[in-house]
Every structure is written in C-alpha cells, then in structure tokens.
Amino acid sequence: MNSLPPGMLLILGALVIPFLKGRTQKVYGLLLPVFSAMHMVNLPPDHLIHVQMFDYVLTPIRVDKLSLVWGYVFHLAALVSIIYQLHVKDKLQDVAGIMYAGAAITAVFAGDVVTLFIFSELAAVASAFLIYANRNTRSATVGTRYFIIQMVAGVLMLFGILLWVHETQSLDFGATYSSGDWQLYGMFVDPESRMPVNPAAWLFLIAFGIKAAFPFLHNWLQDSYPEGTVTGTVFLSAFTTKLAIYALARSFAGADILVPIGLAMTLFPIFFAVIENDLRKVLAYSLNNQLGFMVVGVGLGTQLALNGAASHAFAHIIYKGLLFMAMGAVLFRTGTVKASELGGLYKSMPLTCLFCIIGSLSISGFPIFSGFVTKSLTLSAAFDTHQIWLFVGLLVASAGVVDHSGIKIPFFAFFAHDAGRRVKEAPLNMLIAMGIAAFLCIFIGIYPEPLYALLPFDVQADASGAAWQNYTASHIVTSLQLLLFAALGFAVLYRNGWYPSELPALNIDTDVIYRKVLPAGIRWIARIGRKGIGGARAKALGIINGFIVWIRGHHSPEGIMGDPWSIGATALWAAVLLGIYLIMAYL
Amino acid sequence: MSPTPENHRWLDHPKNARKLFIGLILVDLALLVIGELIHKHGHFDAEISVPAFYAIFGFFAYCSIIAGAVLLRKMIKRKEDYYDE
C-alpha cells in the first residue's frame, strides 16, 4: 500500500460509484475519504517513491510536512463536502466531486512535475463537471469557459515542464525545505535576485498564477464558482486554488514578485465584493482576497510566512467552505442567492444563520476564531519587513474582509429588510457538514496548537526562536479595534443610507475581455474578412470570365478556330500533309 | 413583503436595531479606553505612538473602501442581461 499515492483511493474509488445504488452508494462515498486519510496517515514520514521512466526519474509520492498540511485539510474538505452532498441524488456530482478531491490530493504529494501536471489536470477536468452538472445552457457555457482557462494553464505548465527539463534534465518538483534556514527559496527562485530563475520558471509562475487567480488572471474564479451546483461549489472552493497555493509554496518561496501580486489580490476584490449582488460571487471575490494573503506569505518566504500561508490555507478551506455551504443552503431553500431578493432568513434558517456568522467571524479574524490565529502569522511576517506600503495595504485588506465576508454575507442574507421568504431550515446533512466546519473554526481559534504542530516549521515569532503568542492583550485589543471600528463604519453608513444598495445588476470585470471585447473583435475581423473575401472573389471571377471570353473569341463560330472549312479545302490540306509525310518517309 | 405579525421578532423593531447600534458604539468606546491602558506592541512607531491607531485606521479604511466601491460601481455596472447568454 505504501506505493499507492495518497488520494488515489478516492480517484479509483470514484469509478465504482456508477455501479452502486441508493444508500450503499452514499455510505461508500462517505467512507472513501476516511480510508484515504487513514492510508495517508499510515505512510512513513518523509516517504519517497521513485520510478524510472526512460532516462528520467519520476517521484509519484513525496510525503513531507508541507504536503501533509494540504493532505490533511483536503481530506477534511472532501469529507465535509461529501456529507453536505448526501441528499443529492446525482451520481455525476458524486463521481466528479470525489475524483476532483482525490486528484488534488495526489497532486499535492507529487514529487515531480509530470505527476503534478497529470493530477492537477485531472482535477481540472473532474471539477468542470461540478458546473456542467447544473445541466442547463448557462452552466454549459460557463463550464466550458472554466474548462478552457484551466486547460490554458495546463498547456503553459506543459511548456514550462519541457523547457525546464531541457535545461536541467530533472523532473523533480521542489524539495523538502531545510528547517535550518529562516529565509527559504523555492526551486524556481534565484536566491540572489529573488526572481524566477529562467523562462521555464516564469511559465510555471503564470500557470500557477492562473489557477491561484492572480490579478487579471482571476476572473475565471468569479465567473465559474457562483455557477456550480449548490453542493459542487463547496468542493470547488476547496481544491483548485489551494492546490495552486501549495504549488507556489513548494516551488516559489521567497520570490519577491509574489509580494506585490499577493497584496494586489488582497485589495482589488474587496471593492468588487461590496457592489456584487450574487452572494456566492461575493464569496468568490472574498476567496480571491484570502488567496492574496497566502501569496504574500509565499513571496516573503520566511519560515513564519510559509507557516502563515499553510495555516491560513488550512483554516481558510474550512471557513470558506462553511460560508459557501451556508449560501448553498440558502440557494437550495429559496432558489436565489441574490442579496436584493433576500433578507430576514434568520427567522426560517436560524442554524444556517448561526453557522454562517461563525464562518464570517473566522474569516474576519475575530479572536477565538480560526482566522485570528492563522492570518496573524502572515501579517506578522509581512510587518517584519518594515515596509509601510505592505503594512497599510494588508490592514486595508483586513478591513475589507470585515465588509464582504464579515458583514455583507450574513447581513444581507439573514437580516437586513425581511424579504418575507418563509422556508424550511437546511436539510440535516447540510447542517451536520456546516456544524463540523463551524466547530473546527472555533476549535482552531481557541486551541491552535494541534494545527501549529502540523505546519512545515516550528511556529516561532522570529529567526532567534522567540515564542509565538496569539492571545496577547495588545493583539486582541488592536484586532478588535480594527474589526469593530470597521463594523461601526458599516453601521454609520448603512443607517444613513450611504451604503451602496443591493441592486439586481451585473458588474463587469476582466471577463468583459473574453466575453464581449474578443468576440466582438472576432466578429469585426470576420466582417472585414468577408468583405475582403467578397472583393477577391469578384476579382477572381472577373479573371476567369475574361479568360472564357478570350477563348470564346477564338473558338466560337465567329472565331478563327471555329471557322467551318469546306470539304475541298479539308481534302487539299489532308493531301498536303500526307504528301509531306511520304516525302519524309523516303528521306 | 413586510414581516407578518406572528413572525415579528425583536430585531424587526427599529428601536431595537438602534439599541444594537448604541451597543456597538459603547463596545467601541470601551475598546478605546482599554487600548490606552494596555502595553502595546507593534512593528511601526505609529502603532504605538498614535492613540487608537487601529480604531481610526479600521473606521477610515472601511469608509474609503465603500467610497471606492461606489465609484467603481459607476464604471462597471451593467444590466443583468449584459452578456446576453
């Protein structure tokens, strides 16, 4: 069993689902992540498997502390998502969801770029079906857009692999970071310049950047996640982007360029989130913002920063999943997640509301919730650089989180003005899944030590080994001041009618380029082309016509070749020819 | 649709919403006082020397974000069927 990559049980196990029925199928699906997690936990620490393929060495399994953090949380996310999906009678979603989770887990344990490529692409293919599963024209369009963009990232990565292997003759993907160095550098980063080492590394950066939703490469995320099925989006929120963060953490630690990129990611989505009406889209922007904190952590590349990125990814998968579950439950019961059509649902869905608030407090980083003890590692690592723009930017981003995920999501869905919807509470399985996630949000917040023990490095405040402390009076009070004064800002603006109202409208983002500008451009070129082709066609016809007229000039009855000869003249010319032939025969 | 009388809850009453608002102000005031009593740590001078730095920052950063978003909406808002899909 030690040669079976972690996650493979889920991939292979998903293939059996179509042959099972009813409750057996659901129980089987539920057991898969449990067995897969047991398999992963039982692998020896620092386990490596090498396979010779022609002249190259593949490493399909590499277990170390960095891969294990993601391994644990991906299994947890798979289990919670499967529970959340128990009521859905759709084998397509069960197969797609479980295979997607399995592929992402296998990719995390990939020790070479080929294995990473194969399984991250399998994850991309499987995940597209969680959008297609809505089975309508819109989901077909959105799913295909999502699929194409994932494939573009895949192709870029493939080119990166070819170039990289050509230059280095090695397929290795990263190595286990030495715990002796405080400042770390990934395999694609030049420690001198702190930039990607070569063009191949840049290709990897762009490929990972698409999947991690870097600015301008991000919009597939906000386009597709709100269009997934109620339960499919919970799967989607966990894996693709966090797999990309893992890949960055594994290979791009210490890349300076990631710090401004990450900071931009924390900032721009918060403005879009404020004015977005679709609450699952608000969460997609919020997800983008959270990824930014992790990208900053990877770019800083110190042990503290990488611990921050890893622990933030862990906590984030749980609270973001919880928020998507709460909005999924609202969509499932009411048929909409548009803020302009919701409000007052706390009366009908009190438990969902409670779980949502726990998710909101966690993502905002309130003391005793998971965001507080995880995001602070990255923030502290960032502030250690003493760069004022990073300090101001990350604090603004933290205040932004209070708005979109801390206030907007629970407030407009469950409170605000009562939209009069009287629906049933979410189904039991959804409540259990949300309950588990909510419990973990609080558990990690109060007792972060078990999570810290999983992190790739010992949790220390600085290179000298100073102890890390979460619950100091200063940290608690300053955090509460930032969060509750931001909340006061909301209260003042909302009560005075200055808060932007929730409107049934659409906001364009970079998707306008490929959904509007490019198609219009292509249509324009086609029109010009048609005009051009029309002109060329007329010219060619003219030439052909001229030729026909010229031929006819000679061969028509009036032409020289069409002139009828008399029998006498014909006989005379025949006699002349025969005569010449006779003479030539005798010569 | 407005809430039916049988579904009327404590929060539906504007007076109670106002009470919550005042509660938030009181909590914030308390935080300001506590903030000045404790020993503060920080990476930057402003965190320690400016009184209520995080409170001021939180409030104004939040309001600036909303102002920015209002401006952004003016530029990017379209009808729901803009993409006509």
Nearest CA in chain A to B64: A396
- The ipTM value here is 0.92
**A175 domain-assigned:** no
A522 and A504 assigned to the same domain: no
A271 and A413 assigned to the same domain: yes
What pLDDT does residue A531 have? 86
Contact B27 A477 (CB under 8 A): no
Tokens of A392: 């101001």
Q: Which residues contact A584 (CB under 8 A, 6 or more apart)?
A: none
Angle at A458 between CA A455 and CA A464, to 5 degrees: 145
Q: Mind telling me how many Å the CA of B29 is from chain A's nearest CA?
A: 10
Give the max Cα distance, chain B.
Answer: 59
A545 and A569 assigned to the same domain: yes
Between B7, B21, B73, which is nearest A275 by CB?
B73
A434 and A371 assigned to the same domain: yes
**A1 domain-assigned:** no
Kindly give the confidence (pLDDT) of every residue in chain A, 587 residues in length, as a single tens digit, with 9 standing for 90 and above: 788 999 999 999 999 999 999 999 999 999 999 999 999 999 998 888 999 988 889 999 999 999 999 999 999 999 999 999 999 999 999 999 999 999 999 999 999 999 999 999 999 999 999 999 999 999 999 999 999 999 999 999 999 999 999 999 999 998 889 888 999 999 999 999 999 999 999 999 999 999 999 999 999 999 999 999 999 999 999 999 999 999 999 999 999 999 999 999 999 999 999 999 999 999 999 999 999 999 999 999 999 999 999 999 999 999 999 999 999 999 999 999 999 999 999 999 999 999 999 999 999 999 999 999 999 999 999 999 999 999 999 999 999 999 989 999 999 999 988 888 999 999 999 999 999 999 999 999 999 999 999 999 999 988 888 899 989 999 999 999 999 999 999 999 999 999 998 888 899 999 999 998 999 999 999 998 888 888 888 899 999 999 998 888 887 777 777 777 788 888 998 999 999 998 888 87
Tokens of A54: 């022609």
Sign of CA dihedral A316, A319, A323, A329: positive
What pLDDT does residue A248 have? 97
Domain that holds residue A581: 513-586
DSSP 8-state class, residue A60? E
Confidence band for B5, pLDDT divided at 50, 70 and 90: low
**In whole angstroms, what is the distance from residue A218 CA to residue A212 CA?**
8
Token pair 């529970």 is found at A83
Contact A399 B38 (CB under 8 A): no
Contact B77 A503 (CB under 8 A): yes
pLDDT at B6 over 70: no
- A contact residues 450-489, partner B, Cβ 8 Å cutoff: 472-475, 477-489
SS3 A495: helix
Nearest CA in chain B to A508: B76
Q: Element (H or E) spanning A49, and its range?
A: strand A48-53
**A173 domain-assigned:** no
Q: Give whole-number Cα distances, A576 to A457, A573, B40, in Å.
A: 110, 5, 125
Last residue of a domain, one of A451, A478, A509: A509
Contact A482 B54 (CB under 8 A): yes
**A449 domain-assigned:** yes
Q: Where are the alpha helices (DSSP H) in chain B?
A: 14-37, 45-49, 53-76
In degrees rounded to 5, what are phi and psi of residue A50?
-110, 145
Contact B76 A495 (CB under 8 A): no
Residues of chain A contacting B85 with CB distance shorter than 8 Å: 137-138, 141
Give the DSSP per-residue string, A118-186.
HHHHHHHHHHHHHHHTT-SHHHHHHHHHHHHHHHHHHHHHHHHHHHHHHHH---B---PPPTT-SB---
A272 and A309 assigned to the same domain: yes
Q: Mind telling me how many Å the CA of B22 is from chain A's nearest CA?
A: 10
A532 and A391 assigned to the same domain: no
A151 and A298 assigned to the same domain: yes
Residues of chain B contacting A504 with CB distance shorter than 8 Å: 80
Q: Mind telling me how many Å the CA of B56 is from chain A's nearest CA?
A: 7
Nearest CA in chain B to A387: B44
A407 and A531 assigned to the same domain: no
Residues of chain B contacting A486 with CB distance shorter than 8 Å: 58-59, 61-62
Burial string for A123-152 (b: 16+ CB within 10 Å, else e) reads bbbbbbbbbbbbeeeebebbbebbbebbee
**A307 domain-assigned:** yes
A134 and A252 assigned to the same domain: yes
Last residue of a domain, one of A477, A509, A541: A509
Structural domain count, chain A: 2
Contact B66 A489 (CB under 8 A): yes
A340 lies within 8 A of chain B by CB: no
Q: Mind telling me how many Å the CA of B5 is from chain A's nearest CA?
A: 12
A412 and A529 assigned to the same domain: no
Confidence band for B4, pLDDT divided at 50, 70 and 90: low
**In whole angstroms, what is the distance from residue A268 CA to residue A108 CA?**
29
Q: Which residues contact A94 (CB under 8 A, 6 or more apart)?
A: A14, A17, A25, A29, A82, A85, A88
Confidence band for B1, pLDDT divided at 50, 70 and 90: very low
**In whole angstroms, what is the distance from residue A12 CA to residue A75 CA?**
15
Token pair 């809850």 is found at B9
Last residue of a domain, one of A509, A541, A559: A509
Q: Mind telling me how many Å the CA of A328 is from chain B's nearest CA?
A: 21
Contact B31 A481 (CB under 8 A): yes
A241 and A291 assigned to the same domain: yes
Contact A420 B1 (CB under 8 A): yes
* Nearest alpha carbon to residue A249 among A274, A212, A222, A202: A212
pTM of the model: 0.90
Contact B72 A475 (CB under 8 A): no
A420 lies within 8 A of chain B by CB: yes
Domain residue spans of chain B: 1-38, 41-85
Contact B24 A272 (CB under 8 A): no
Contact B1 A399 (CB under 8 A): no
Q: Mind telling me how many Å the CA of A270 is from chain B's nearest CA?
A: 8
Contact A420 B3 (CB under 8 A): yes
Angle at A57 between CA A51 and CA A62, to 5 degrees: 65
Q: Mind telling me how many Å the CA of B46 is from chain A's nearest CA?
A: 11
Burial string for A309-318 (b: 16+ CB within 10 Å, else e) reads bbbbbbbbbb
**In whole angstroms, what is the distance from residue B23 CA to residue A131 CA?**
44
* Nearest alpha carbon to residue A202 among A241, A193, A147: A193
Q: Mind telling me how many Å the CA of A336 is from chain B's nearest CA?
A: 15
Between A391, A399, A484, which is nearest B61 by CB?
A399
* Nearest alpha carbon to residue B64 among A360, A493, A569: A493
Tokens of A56: 């190259």
Between B25, B43, B60, which is nearest A386 by CB?
B43
SS3 A247: helix
In degrees rounded to 5, what are phi and psi of residue B48?
-100, -40
- A contact residues 130-169, partner B, Cβ 8 Å cutoff: 137-138, 141
A321 and A404 assigned to the same domain: yes
Q: Which residues contact A126 (CB under 8 A, 6 or more apart)?
A: A95, A96, A97, A99, A100, A103
Cβ distance B76 to A508 under 8 Å? Answer: yes
Nearest CA in chain A to B54: A482
